[in-house]
Amino acid sequence: MLEVRELTKTFESPAGPVQVLCGLTLELEEGGGVAVLAPGGSGKSTLLQILGTLDRPTSGTVLLGGEDPFALDDEAQARFRNERVGFVFQDHCLLPQLTVMENVMVPLMIGAEDTMGPERARKLLTEVGLADKVNDRPVQLTAGEKQRAAIARALVRGPRLLLCDEPTGSLDNKTAHEVAELLEKVRQEHKLTLVVATHDPVVAAKLPRRVLLTDGRL
């Protein structure tokens, strides 16, 4: 279960403090899925960065599976993030010099060596529809295929929470909707909790629940 209570985030800027999140509250059951719909600049990325412990809230609490990641020391928090959270961004962030398969295994290089890595990467790539692309380089893939590879990479450590920040923002409509369908399929099959930030209502419609982020609240 993901529980967010009275979350606020204020950035300092030369023009003074900017309050982006203003007492935001969200409850999402284990294995649930929600689309956060919002126009540009309304705090979607800020929210996802905090849910993924890439940034700290100014105030408020985040509980994931009953645990407060911001109460952990830096090392435990990094472990929490590596083991429990997967990220998909608008840009796929694949490394061009590596094959698709090697890209998917990159997260496994953090921490203990994992002899099951290649098998797991291949299985995930098959699941996202890239079985015949494992040895290609990212440059050989279409935009939609690159995002599929990024989804496989996000899953390789078996996260409980998958955070997607405009995962279809660089895709044409048809491909965007296919990728959104894939994310929803992955949520169900991996029984993970899914949060997708998007400004596309058709993408949002693929998820079981939608919330609107305005004025720093949902």
Positions touching ligand ATP (CB under 6 A) are 11, 13, 18, 20, 38, 40-46
Which of Mg ion, ligand ATP, none does residue 115 bind to, with CB < 5 to 8 Å depending on kind? Answer: none
Q: How far is Cα of residue 62 from the mean position of the Cα atoms in its chain?
A: 16
- Minimum Å gap between C-beta 31 and ligand ATP is 25
Which of ligand ATP, Mg ion, none does residue 156 bind to, with CB < 5 to 8 Å depending on kind? Answer: none
- Minimum Å gap between C-beta 115 and ligand ATP is 38
- Minimum Å gap between C-beta 177 and ligand ATP is 19
Binding residues vs Mg ion (CB under 5 A): 44-45
Q: Which residue's structure tokens are 């797991």?
A: 120
Say if CB 178 and CB 146 are below 8 A apart: no
For Mg ion, which is the closer residue by CB, 44 or 153?
Answer: 44
- Minimum Å gap between C-beta 104 and Mg ion is 24
For Mg ion, which is the closer residue by CB, 45 or 168?
Answer: 45
- Minimum Å gap between C-beta 72 and Mg ion is 26
For ligand ATP, which is the closer residue by CB, 166 or 184?
Answer: 166
For ligand ATP, which is the closer residue by CB, 42 or 193?
Answer: 42
Sign of CA dihedral 175, 182, 117, 134: negative
Whose CB is nearest to Mg ion?
A: 45
